[in-house]
């Protein structure tokens, strides 16, 4: 009976170590993504999607969806910092965003119907350009 308990404890310890490793990977990838977005104003998805797929094991559709949230929240915080410094052209940004809303909705709708391999390949092509 004691052997079973010991084996169970070892599995639990390995599980906790794996969770901590995963958390550290997520924090490092998130910091890199945030740095790119804050400094360059873009590139977050190029970093976030592969990290979410290959480091954290999300499906391409889930990674793309999570990346949208990550980029939105991180971009908003960077927007506030750049706005304080007077570097934001709000009218131009809103016009550009308005032009992208329809195509973004279309792309989001299509992504749910594409095979995971096709979505990953499409992302790779866009990232390479």
Report the C-alpha gap between 125 and 121 in whole angstroms.
6
Predicted TM-score (pTM) of this structure: 0.68
Tokens 């119907």, located at residue = 113
Mean pLDDT of the chain: 85
Grade residue 3 by pLDDT with cuts at 50, 70 and 90: low
- The 10s digit of each residue's pLDDT in 18-56 is 888 888 988 998 888 888 877 877 777 888 888 899 888
Question: Looking at the predicted structure, is the pLDDT value of residue 95 above 90?
Answer: yes
Q: Give the pLDDT score at 2.
A: 57
What SS3 string covers the chain? CHHHHHHHHHHHHHHHHHHHHHHHHHHHHHHHHHHHHHHHCCCHHHHHHHHHHHHCCCCHHHHHHHHHHHHHHHHHHHHHHHHHCCCCCHHHHHHHHHHHHHHHHHHHHHHCCCCHHHHHHHHHHHHHC
Domain ranges in the chain are: 2-128
What token pair was written down for 11?
């599995």
């Amino acid at each position: 009976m004691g052997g079973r308990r010991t084996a169970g404890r070892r599995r639990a310890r390995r599980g906790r170590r794996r969770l901590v490793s995963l958390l550290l990977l997520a924090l490092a990838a998130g910091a890199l993504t945030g740095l790119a977005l804050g400094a360059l104003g873009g590139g977050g998805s190029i970093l976030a999607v592969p990290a979410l797929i290959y480091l954290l094991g999300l499906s391409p559709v889930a990674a793309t969806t999570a990346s949208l949230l990550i980029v939105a929240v991180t971009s908003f915080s960077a927007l506030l910092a750049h706005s304080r410094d007077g570097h934001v052209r709000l009218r131009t940004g809103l016009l550009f965003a308005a032009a992208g809303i329809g195509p973004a909705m279309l792309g989001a709708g299509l992504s749910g119907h594409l095979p995971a391999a096709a979505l990953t390949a499409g992302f790779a092509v866009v990232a390479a350009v």
